[in-house]
Amino acid sequence: MKVIAFLALWVTLFHQGYSNSLDTCVGRCGYGTDNSFSCQCNTSCERFKDCCSDYTDVCKTSALSCKGRCDEQFNSQNKCHCNSKCAQHQNCCSNYADLCDSNGGGSGGVITDAEIKSLSEALYALDSNKASSSELIINPQALVHDSQTSSMTDLSSGNLFRYLNEEVLFSRPTYTAFLAVLDNYNRMTGQNEDFSQQQLAEQEDFVRETMANTELGRELFAFLYTKGVYASEEEFLQDLKMMWFGLYSRNNNKKDSSGFEHIFAGEIKGGKVSGFHNWIQFYLLEKSGKLNYYSHSFNGPWTSYPDVLGMQFMWEGYFKQVGSAVIGCSPEFDFALYSLCYITRPGKQCHLSLGGKKLMIQTYTWERSFYGDGKKYIGSAFPATPRN
């Protein structure tokens, strides 16, 4: 009787446990056909009708989620990833930070929102090259509701920038390096960007001047180094150069765009301004008469620089409905904040703290082409004040 009872129990456990382990896609999505399993978990199973019963839920519905996937082994077939290296390669699933970042810390460890906020405060304090209230004076004028940002109505009679001490600010090395790169672009998408050797050298100089030659940039690297994102400063600098300046196509299959051009210089696509989130570029174009400031739809809570504005403007016949920018910061601060957010929160919201006040930066990855070992270029990033 004991033998019969044992066999009965074994059969029950087999069907409830072991059998289920063979008939599930948990941990198997995307891998090739394995005849040792009674069902499969790859795209071919849909054609051969031998998918496991949970294939849709686990491999399709959950394909873009880290639920149950934290610290999984890398699988090139997955659309996004949930291991400790995904932040470095900018290919984490959107909820990686929420589901897999809870432990934080350590070499190669995850990066928590609290750590990002703490670092952003440190960078804010280190921005010694920001404009002072005597070096920069702005006149925001008309404030419009969100519902009015598309009206294309000039509600401000004067320029946004009333005064900038160019002699002081533009003589500083990071500003000089930034200005050298800023004028290297054709704003129209659909036309190849073709850089000279001098212009390529200017890109290299900008990255090194802002990130290697400032205390602010070295602070960002030190943080990412301790988290295991980069093994050396040289790796850090070269990755920044590729993610920011590597060319890809936004229009007509031409190498017409990069993260730097889109965010800092601005582009024209589909008959309107695309990107354009830098205050120095705004100032230069407004000063030259090429840009007409219309209004602003939000103004950050800061009473000194840097501040944040969301602006409506016309750039030589092309309208920008909301062009947000961090006003009055140094080039290295702007570059560091966007880089921090893209590296740690690619394709999602990045919550920062500047002087005890909240700032959110939304980042987007470029999904159509890659660099290095499958890394994604910066598609876009822009600042916005959190709406509570």
Catalytic residue among 130, 320, 348, 376: 320
Between CA 87 and CA 376 the distance in angstroms is 11
Token pair 């009206």 in the structure block, residue: 151
Four-point Cα dihedral 380, 384, 387, 388, nearest 10:
100
Nearest CA-CA partner of 344 in 71, 106, 83, 92: 92
269 is catalytic: no
15 assigned to active site: no
**Residue 351 designated active-site:** no
List the one residue out of 257, 289, 262 whose CA is nearest residue 278.
262
Tokens 């509600």 identify what position?
Answer: 155
Tokens of 83: 């291991």
User: Which distant-in-sequence residues (6+ apart) come within 8 Å of 232 by Cβ?
Assistant: 225
Catalytic residue among 81, 89, 227, 277: 277
Q: Which of 262, 269, 296, 376 is catalytic?
A: 262
Please say whether the beta carbons of 273 and 315 come within 8 A: yes
Buried b vs exposed e over 173-198: b needs ≥16 C-beta within 10 Å? ebbebbbbbbebbebebeeebeeeee
Which residues are designated catalytic? 262, 277, 320
